[in-house]
Chain A
Amino acid sequence: MSQIPSWCPGCGAYTVNLALKKALAQLRLKRKNVVACYDIGCSGNMVNVLDVCGFETLHGRSIPVATGIKTVRPELTVIAQAGDGGLLNEGLNHFIHAAQRNIPITLIVNNNLVFGLTAGQQSSTTPQGVRVRGSRHENPLPPLSAVDLAAAAGARFIARVPEGELGLMQKSFEKALCFKGFAVVEIIQPCKIWAKDFPKMEFKKISKPFLDRTKFTGRANLAGILYSKEG
């Protein structure tokens, strides 16, 4: 049950799709017991290529739908997927409150630093000074960070993974899917189409999670499971 992916060659979404499939297989979860709620956007098109109970919701609204599902059917594994536009622009309020509520949902953030599907407008994660192809000027605004906001709102599982790190991505997904609480995994996957001049990002992989949520905020180059504390 699958279609041909709609993503452009080289898109990070392929890796995310692959890592998620591997993680679900590794955890031996039955496909019918996994619900994935998708955002609208390039990355949300995963609904057509991941064989679980897929639910394409609305822009910015995968978290509310996922929360309703998990609340009445706690035995299901529930994933909410969002792009940077659907998480930090349209649906930001749901993100903050999901972290506050700590209902066990795995949030996958496909951060491509731009509005992709509407042809390249700057999103709230577009780096400052970068001109994306759908905007007339360089972005004058400093970007928002999903990881920093998650930390500030009290999320108990926070990971950041660069798109090339398949192993780390799979491991992060596995840990997040088993986590008893709201778990955030952000994938940094700069769009290959709408900005060719994203500054090259060098990530520093950390070996074990921080014990204090204030220690990794403001440090956009840190990768790995940054925080993990059930309770």
Chain B
Amino acid sequence: MQLGELLSAALNSAGYFTLVYPEYPSRIRGGDNNVQIVISNSAQLTPRQRVDALFALDKNLADAHRREVKPNGSTFNAVSLGLIDVPAVKSNPLVKNTALAGLIWRFLGLEKGILSRQIKKTFPKYTAVNLEAAEAGWKLASKTKGLDLAPTSSKIFGATGNEVFASSALKADCQYASIYPMTPITSLARYLAKSKIKVIAPEDEIFAALSTLGASYAGKRALTATSGGGFCLMTEAIGLAAMAEIPLVIILGQRSGPSSGMPTYSSQADLNFAIWGGHGDFEKIVLAPGDLEEIARLTPEAFNLAERYQIPVIILTDKYLSESRFSTNQAIDKIKIKIDRGKRYERNSKIYNRYKLTKDGISPRAYPGETTFLTNSYEHDEEGFSADDVQTRQAMMAKRARKLASLPGGYEIYGHKSAKEIVVGWGSTKSQLVELSHGFPQLKFIHIWRPWPFPEKMKSELKRARKVIVAENNFSGQMAKIIENETSVKVAKILKDDGRPFFFEELTKAIEAKL
């Protein structure tokens, strides 16, 4: 991961786009830790099944990944090259990665100064020892391949999904977070903990979700994040947010389940759980950003939606989107966001009823300290008193159900806009779809960024199609089934649930086979 971060940062400043896709086991030392770095002069990048060059730090890794090297590709074994015997690494084995970075940098045929500058930035405290290691690695690389790509002149911004989730939440004025560590959202907690907002290490995900809800009730924007296992414990908070009408934003980073599953691998199998988690009938919104720009737009929007409708909003991500390092030439930090705190209590109102029945189902929200009011997880009347009479129940269920009556958008179209054959994906498959749309100019590609409520306008889009193919990273085709249920359109499925994201070659082949 450290190596991928260093190299991608240096490559980005050299004018290349990169995708860094890490794989690691659930253990602290040893095992198969590998990182795939895709380098391009185009921004849309997808992980590959076959690589041009494999750099292995030991023999086991070289053997394990040899079959992933293209027939005309190269394999470098750091041990046989003597990388671990150079004095810099011998005296400090921690700089092994930097030595390998030097070796790779020369193999790529790039100017040494760029890497050196990046090393100075990445290791401000330990610059000298890392520069020495990189130099030693550089010297070991006998041949220079040289990138046959023209670098771009645009400024390239590189980040993991989690970094952008964190920075966007802060930009949206999030003031509180409580996150129990769990792959793949642990680094998100770390970024937030570095900021000035209040962060509490919870005893469990129940506390994480409910203290977040408490902070939100008190009038501050708040966030929690978890993976499927923790989300199991959060469902009671989701129901409470719905019933008590309190904004609640949860980031759900999917990983391979069920149960402990493959904790450090990716999945899109929590879609049904996100949509249906919680008992009783209530409204919620599920968002699924697919790349850095969308994370930067939809994270603040999640807070707006949660506060505008006073409901739970779940943002789906996964290990691939959260922990891979992407790059873009869009100025992510300059994306303008709007803050909408929703309908608020007016100071001069004589009578304030927290759950006032309104036409749009949304009641003005007061914060404690502004006036006294009741908040209730039981069914309640307009004042908030517990109630179980027929009339109140019917009125309140109808009020809460009205809130999301007309939610626009939810998807984007790529490729051939009027094509009758459509490939559909959602969430983290966006970059795959966008890259594939160049290879299949005859197809329409739909990326769903709001799985729930199901995008209304998309229904007619799908009903008009001759063929609908849904590609998703789960075993049973959860989105495919939702589409069938919502539109009665029979869809073809491309499914993958082995913990890895779709690789470009396999998805290309799978689409060809379905056409």
Contact = CB atoms under 8 A, between A and B. Distances in A.
Interface of A: 1, 3, 31-33, 35, 37, 40, 45, 47-48, 51-58, 61, 64-69, 71-73, 75-76, 93-94, 96-97, 101
B220 to A, nearest CB: 4
A47 B386 contact: yes
B210 interface: yes
Contact of A68 (B206, B211, B371): B211
Given A48-B385, A72-B176, A72-B222, A64 B374 contact: no
Nearest to B197: A72
B217 A52 contact: no
Contacts of B374: 1, 47-48, 53-56
A47 B376 contact: yes
A75 B207 contact: no
B178 interface: yes
3 nearest interchain CB pairs?
A: A68-B214, A68-B211, A64-B210
A94 B237 CA distance: 15
A58 B215 contact: no
B212 interface: yes
A1 B198 CA distance: 34
Nearest to A2: B385
Given A1-B383, A47-B376, A69-B215, A76 B206 contact: no
A61 B375 contact: no
Interface centre among A57, A65, A69, A71 (most CB of B within 10 A): A65
B207 A97 contact: yes
B200 A71 contact: yes
Contacts of B512: none
Contact of A76 (B213, B222, B369): B369
B200 A32 contact: no
Contacts of B220: 72-73
B141 to A, nearest CB: 53
A65 B236 CA distance: 12
B211 A71 contact: yes
Contacts of B371: 32
Contacts of A72: 175-176, 198, 215, 218-220, 222
Contact of B240 (A32, A52, A57): A57
Contact of A58 (B178, B198, B240): B240
Contacts of B373: 53
B210 A73 contact: no
24 contacts: A32-B371, A53-B368, A54-B374, A55-B217, A56-B244, A57-B240, A58-B240, A61-B210, A66-B214, A67-B200, A67-B207, A67-B211, A68-B211, A68-B214, A71-B176, A71-B215, A72-B198, A72-B220, A72-B222, A73-B218, A73-B220, A73-B368, A94-B206, A96-B203
A48 B370 contact: no
A73 B213 contact: no
Given A72-B175, A72-B198, A93-B204, A32 B368 contact: yes
B368 A97 contact: no
B459 to A, nearest CB: 36
Contacts of B370: 32
B369 A64 contact: no
A61 B372 contact: no
Most chain B CB within 10 A, of A40, A55, A68, is at A68
Given A66-B214, A68-B211, A72-B176, A51 B372 contact: yes
Interface in B198-256: 198, 200, 202-204, 206-207, 210-220, 222, 236-237, 240, 244
Nearest to A64: B210
Contacts of A67: 200, 207, 211, 214
Contact of B214 (A37, A45, A101): A37
- Looking at B200, B222, B371, which has the most chain A CB atoms within 10 Å of its CB? B200
Given A31-B372, A67-B207, A71-B176, A3 B215 contact: no
Contact of A97 (B203, B212, B378): B203
Given A32-B371, A54-B376, A54-B384, 8 more contacts: A47-B374, A47-B376, A48-B374, A53-B375, A57-B210, A61-B240, A65-B213, A73-B368
B193 to A, nearest CB: 14
Contact of A52 (B178, B237, B372): B372
A53 B371 CA distance: 8
Nearest to B200: A71
B476 interface: no
